[in-house]
Every structure is written in C-alpha cells, then in structure tokens.
Amino acid sequence: MSIGIRDVARAAGVSTATVSRALGRGPVSDAVREQVEAAVRATGYRPNLSARRLRSKAAQTIGLIVADIRNPFFTAVSRAVEDAAYAAGLRVILCNTDEDPAREALYLRLMEEERVTGVIFAPTKATADALTADSLGFPTVFIDRSGLPGAHDSVVLDNVAAAGALVDHLAGQGFSGIGGLFGSTSSTARERQAGYEAAMARHGLAPLVRSVAPNAAAAEAEAARWLGQADRPEALILSNGLILMGAVRAARTLGLGVPRDLALAGFDNEPWTDLVEPGLTVIEQPVAEIGAQAMRLLFERIEHPDQPVRKVVLSGRAVLRGSTRRE
C-alpha cells in the first residue's frame, strides 16, 4: 500500500492540515515541523509534488539560468546547485541563454509562469543593469555576475585581484607586451579587464586590450587575427576558459610555440588545461563553493525576504604552469 498524508498525520499525532502546512513551509512551530519531518522519515512518505504545486502559490522548484552550459565553469556550478537543491528536496529547472538578453527575458518569464521558489542567475551585463530590486517576482541570486548595487544577492570571484595576479606573474617572468582578450557581454569580463589594466599601470606597462564574444570559436578567430600581426603581444591573458581554448587553437594554427613565441594565461582550471603541452597557467575558481554559497543565500532570502542584500566575494587560486615560464 502507498503511504499517504493521513499516515504521516497519524504517526506524528497531528492533523492532515498541520502536515500540509509543515511540508509546505507554512505557519507551524519548529517543534511541530520536526515532529512531522520525523514522521515522514519513519513512514517513508513521498509527497505528490504535482498536487502540492496545484494547491500552493509556488512550486518547490529552483530555477537555474546560466550563460553557457558548454562552459565547464557553469557545468560545475550547476552541479553544485543541483546537489544543494536535491538535499533540500527541491527540483531544478535549468535554462541556457548563450549570453542572449532576449533568451534571458524569455526564461525569466518562464520562471514566473512556473511559480518557482527562487532563481539563481548568471545574467549578461545588459540584463543585470536593468534588473532593479523590484523587477522580479521571486527571490534571485546572481552568480559570477554583478548587478546594480543593492539590488540582488550575488556570489562572485574577486575578478580584479585574480586578473591582477596574472599580470603580476607575467611581468615577474619578464614579459612586457601583455595583451588581454576579454569577453564582451558580462560584468565579470569587465571586472577582469579592470584588474588587468590596473596591474599593467602598476608595472608601467601599456595595456593591449581586445574584446570578443565569450566562446571558443569567436576567440580563436580574433586571436588568430591579433597574433598574425607583426606587432603581436608576447603574452596573452584570456578572460574565461572557452576564450583560453580558442587562443590555444589559434596559436597552434599559426605555428607559435608556447611559451617560446607566446605566453598564455587564463581562467578556469579545467582538466584539459593540464593535459596540453605545456600546461596552462590559470586562475582556479572555487566552483563548488560558488554554487553552495548561492544556494545558501537563496534559502536565506526565501526565509527572510527583507534582510539586506549581500554580496559574497570569493578568492581564486593561481595555478602556475609552463605556458607562462620564460624560456
């Protein structure tokens, strides 16, 4: 026989209405909620999520909107978010926007229609700058991207410091013609560019900056054009893992030796960055912590909607390999 809500109520010694309130995060005391949850575990009851959704104003569902699921960074963050959601008994709706504001708007409308409990979102700069504190009808936490000050909770890397650390390392190796190829759509890339430019100024070096759509194909094409010039940079900093991949491909196509002809440094310590020869110098992001912190902020925002907006800034770790070693 299947276990129903009446069985849980009988085991807990409460009414079925109290069980419904406790499972739906309704107004019950902590003691009663613990009593009901213990009865759920004892009976093996599995709630009918579809029926609960029809009865409630919000689904027990988290929306996760990422910029590019092909980017291993977002794949890893998505896994961390899903793990935390699963542990909390929540489902996840995953949407991929390809850095397209129109798709972002579409998926935000979808989240409203689905009556999600909350959303974790990696928006383009255009969308982030347009979203005020009152723009969305559900709790929202930004990941990897910053929005308007005080508008939404966020979890980000200290991008300025991370990019500056790459410049400091390259300058310390004796490189001076250090270029930067940065994504064109996100606040993250803007912050990394700012960190690069500030560090170049500290070393008395002239910045060499280009921007590109944040994917491997666009980066390969732009890097090939840049590196094919007589006055090409002697070192490049790439603002995400896909742009780094495109630059590696361009260097190989042009027959440039790394680091003999070109030093390369970038972001995201993916397995492939240690498999190429030589290994690539990168900033390793704490991806699991980013996802876990985003879920923590979202849960706290759901429970306390009027609390002050918070921004969690995490540190990266420089992983130094042969691609930046001066020969």
Instruction: Please report the pLDDT score of residue 133 as a whole number.
Output: 85
Instruction: Please report the pLDDT score of residue 53 as a whole number.
Output: 45
Helix 187-202, helix 159-172: angle, nearest 10: 40
CB atoms within 10 A of CB 273: 24
Q: Which of 43, 4, 2, 41 lies closest to 20 in space, CA to CA?
A: 4
Cα torsion 193, 195, 200, 201: sign = positive
Instruction: Please report the pLDDT score of residue 199 as a whole number.
Output: 98
Instruction: Please report the pLDDT score of residue 26 as a whole number.
Output: 64
CB atoms within 10 A of CB 310: 14
Instruction: Please report the pLDDT score of residue 54 as a whole number.
Output: 40
Phi, psi of 259 (to 5 degrees): -100, 10
Mean pLDDT, each 10-residue run in order, the chain (327 residues): 79 85 74 89 72 51 93 90 86 94 95 91 93 89 92 95 98 97 93 97 97 95 96 96 96 96 96 94 94 92 89 96 91
Q: Are 264 and 238 in contact (CB under 8 A)?
A: yes
Residue burial 183-206, b: 16+ Cβ < 10 Å; e: rest: bbbbbbbbbbbebbbebbeeeebe
